[in-house]
Amino acid sequence: MDKFVIQGGNRLVGRVKISGAKNGSLALMPATLLAPGTYHLKNTPNLRDVWTMSRLMNSLGAFCELNGNELFIDTTNITSFEAPYEHVKKMRASFYVLGPLVSRYGYAKVSMPGGCAWGPRPVDLHLKGLEKLGAEISLESGYVVAKAERLIGNRFHFDVSSVGATGNLLMAASLAKGTSLLTNAATEPEITALARFLVKMGAKIDGIGTPQLEIEGVDSLHPADEITIPDRIETATYLIAAAITGGKLELENTNPYHLTAVIAKLEEAGCDIDVNADKISIEMNGKPKPVDITATIYPGFPTDVQSQWTALMLAAEGTSKITDTIYPDRFKHVPELIRLGANVEVVDNSAIVQGGRKLSGATVMASDLRAGASLVLAALIAEGTTEVLRVYHIDRGYENFEQRLQSIGANIKRVKTDLV
Ligand code: EPZ
């Protein structure tokens, strides 16, 4: 296991090249199951979740090879239609193979992700949607089994906006017989990018970028190459790293228009920000102001940035409230921040921060990738040494995290440890 050892107090200054979007790649990769052939997915982030998805797809008979940030996939010979628990338990996004497999091959057996179909982080919308398209769905010993001669286009309304369910149904409907209309669909940039990729593959989709997606099913699709969009969550994380340390950063190879809510809140907190096509410059003089945020669906403030924002608010003189309407219990980072000396109280689906207190280094533990990122951000301003354990969580979604932070002045190193 690895840990990060961080000495707080350094101001971050310099330039960071942002990677391709983890959640973009995790949608594009399973889409290649819809048409046999070879694909070149450029700007793919070289990180754990992509390796996990590659292993899962290779177990289905695909051939995935990642050279740096160039991902080559060959789906000519898919020989298995089962996504075993060993893969899905590591990464919920493995569930994305369900739609493509049942739509292209008429059969899929995919392990349930953590929790049950209707429990925490449910998949009921994925299943109800596929049933609406004519799939026969059964639950067998922790697995979802989906069967269909051929899916039939239909209407489906998402009770709640779901990125994963929208992705699964978009892919499934692309090869269905007839037209489908998905309403209250997710509009996150990664879904828009998936839709555009499917169109490149020959799919017929209207309403791309809106919550109303109309898909006219086709009999077959063909391979296509794609450039993965920049990672908006990684971008937000480095912007907050600049803000929390009173630093000055230039982020390249990003898309500022994918995180307008975060940029607006950072400006409200006192940051100077300039944007142009693929760059964002940020400078923070002094301490941030306390600013409340409410995490909601796109284009609102992303739930994947609320823990990082909580870290930032530790540096702000005053009280701030961080609410998550997507995952009401996504506050496992709070007890760890308190170990650093923070004053944060969780009330229902909000964290109330009394900012401006001095933070002191301690040993803390990452519980998921965004919580881990928030602990690193807080460690950057904690006095003394902080050790962040279980950095494998962070490695899931941040490429070369410590190297990039070192390159802009952070005192951080990766150390092997027996502590888990
Ligand atoms: C995606 O997860 C992202 N993962 C998550 O990013 C992100 O936090 C989440 O969207 C919300 O933006 C990937 O893209 C791989 P959802 P997903 O389905 O698709 C409820 C990260 O940090 N829901 O949009 O699993 C669900 O309980 C990860 O990179 C149902 O009720 O999220 C939640 O409250 C963490 N039934 C809400 O919808 C369903 O069938 C949003 O979930 C599905 C979801």
Domain span including residue 126: 22-227
**Domain end position, chosen among 210, 227, 244:** 227
Residues 206 and 328 in one domain: no
Q: Which amino acid is at 138?
A: S
> Is residue 119 predicted with pLDDT exceeding 80?
no
Q: Which atom of ligand 1 is nearest to the CA of 369?
A: 22
Q: Mind listing the pLDDT tens digit for each residue in 326-341?
A: 999 899 999 999 999 9
Confidence at 86, pLDDT banded by 50, 70, 90: confident
pLDDT of residue 122: 87
Beta strands, E only, 287-410: 293-295, 318-324, 344-347, 350-355, 363-365, 385-389
Report the C-alpha gap between 338 and 94 in whole angstroms: 33
Q: What's residue 114's pLDDT?
A: 65
- Burial call 370-393: b when 16+ CB within 10 Å, e when fewer: bbbbbbbbbbbbbeeebbbbbbeb
Stretch 178-188: mean pLDDT? 98
- pLDDT at site 117: 46
- Same domain, residue pair 79 and 166: yes
Q: Kind of pairing, strands 248-252 and 13-17?
A: parallel
Residue by residue, what is the 3-state secondary structure of 166-213? HHHHHHHHHCCECEEEEECCCCCHHHHHHHHHHHHCCCEEECCCCCEE
Kindly state the percentage of the chain with pLDDT values over 70.
98
Under the banding of pLDDT at 50, 70 and 90, the label for residue 419 is confident
Classified as helix, coil or strand, 297 is coil
Same domain membership, residue 82 and residue 11:
no
CATH number at residue 72: 3.65.10.10
Residue identifier of the C-alpha nearest atom 22 of ligand 1: 304
> Residues 164, 278: one domain?
no
Q: Whose CA is nearest to atom 9 of ligand 1?
A: 163
Residues marked active site are found at: 116
Statement to judge: residues 120 and 250 lie in one domain: no
Q: Measuring from atom 35 of ligand 1, which residue has the nearest CA?
A: 304
Q: Strand order of the sheet with strand 63-67?
A: 63-67, 70-74, 38-42, 226-227
- Looking from the CA of residue 121, the nearest atom of ligand 1 is 27
Rounded to the nearest integer, the mean pLDDT of the chain is: 96
Tell how far the Cα of 163 is from the centroid of ligand 1, in angstroms: 6
pLDDT in tens, 258-288: 999 999 999 999 999 999 999 999 999 999 9
Residue 257 neighbours by CB distance under 10 Å: 12
Kindly indicate the confidence band of residue 357, based on its pLDDT and cuts at 50, 70 and 90: very high
Is residue 79 located within the same domain as residue 161? Answer: yes
Q: Are residues 370 and 257 in the same domain?
A: yes
Same domain, 27 and 6: no
CB of residue 308 inside a 6 A radius of ligand 1: no
Q: 160 in ligand 1 pocket by Cβ < 6 Å?
A: yes
- Residues recorded for the chain: 420
pLDDT tens digit string along 5-41?
999 999 999 999 999 999 999 999 999 999 999 999 9
Query: 328 CB less than 6 Å from ligand 1?
Result: no
- Percent with pLDDT over 90 in the chain: 93
Q: Can you tell me the distance from the alpha carbon of 113 to that of 127, in angstroms, rounded to the nearest whole number? A: 13
Q: pLDDT at residue 244 above 80?
A: yes
For residues 9 and 42, state if they share a domain: no
Q: Are 284 and 243 in contact (CB under 8 A)?
A: yes
- Name the domain boundary from 179, 201, 227: 227
Cβ of residue 300 lying under 6 Å from some atom of ligand 1: no
Q: Is 304 in the pocket of ligand 1 (CB under 6 A)?
A: yes
Where is pLDDT greater, at 418 or 16?
A: 16
**Whole-angstrom Cα distance, residue 325 to residue 334?**
17
- Please indicate, yes or no, whether residues 301 and 202 belong to a single structural domain of this protein: no
Q: Which of 100, 154, 162 minimizes the C-alpha distance to 125?
A: 162
Name the domain count of the chain: 2
**Distance (Å, whole) CA 20 – CA 399:** 9
Of ligand 1's listed atoms, the one at least distance from the Cα of 370 is: 22
Peptide bond into 299 cis (omega under 30): yes
In 3D space, the residue among 382, 384, 317 whose CA is nearest the CA of residue 353 turns out to be 317
Residue 252 has pLDDT above 80, yes or no: yes
Is the distance from the beta carbon of residue 165 to the nearest atom of ligand 1 less than 6 Å?
Answer: yes
Q: Which of 180, 199, 227 is the last residue of a domain?
A: 227
Residues 49 and 107 grouped into a single domain: yes
DSSP per-residue string spanning 95-129: GGGHHHHHHHHSEEEEE--SS-TTSSS--HHHHHH
Same domain, 275 and 405: yes
The answer on pLDDT for 203 being more than 50 is yes
